Amino acid sequence: MRQGIHAGRAAWAVVPAAVALAHIGPAATWLPELRRRRFPGLAGRGSAGHVALTFDDGPDPVSTPRFLDVLDGLGVRATFFLLGENVVRHPATARELARRGHELAVHGWAHDGPWLPSPGRDARELARAALVVGEAAGREPFWYRPPYGILSSGRWAAARRAGLRPVLWTAWGKDWRADATAASVRATVAADLGGGGTVLLHDTDHASAPGSWRSALGALPDLVGDWRAAGLEVGPLREHGIPGTDAAGTGAGQPEEAPAPVA
Which of 148, 213, 206 has its CA nearest to residue 180?
Answer: 213
State the DSSP string of 184-205.
HHHHHHHHH--TT-EEEEES--
| Catalytic residue IDs | 56, 202
Q: Are strands 103-106 and 79-82 parallel, antiparallel or unpaired?
A: parallel
Alpha-carbon distance of 47 to 138, in angstroms, equals 27
CB burial class (10 A; 0-12, 13-18, 19+) of residue 15? middle
Give the CA distances from residue 227 to residues 53, 60, 76, 206, in Å, rounded to whole numbers and listed in that order: 11, 27, 12, 28
Dihedral of CA atoms 190, 195, 200, 204 in degrees, nearest 10, equals 80
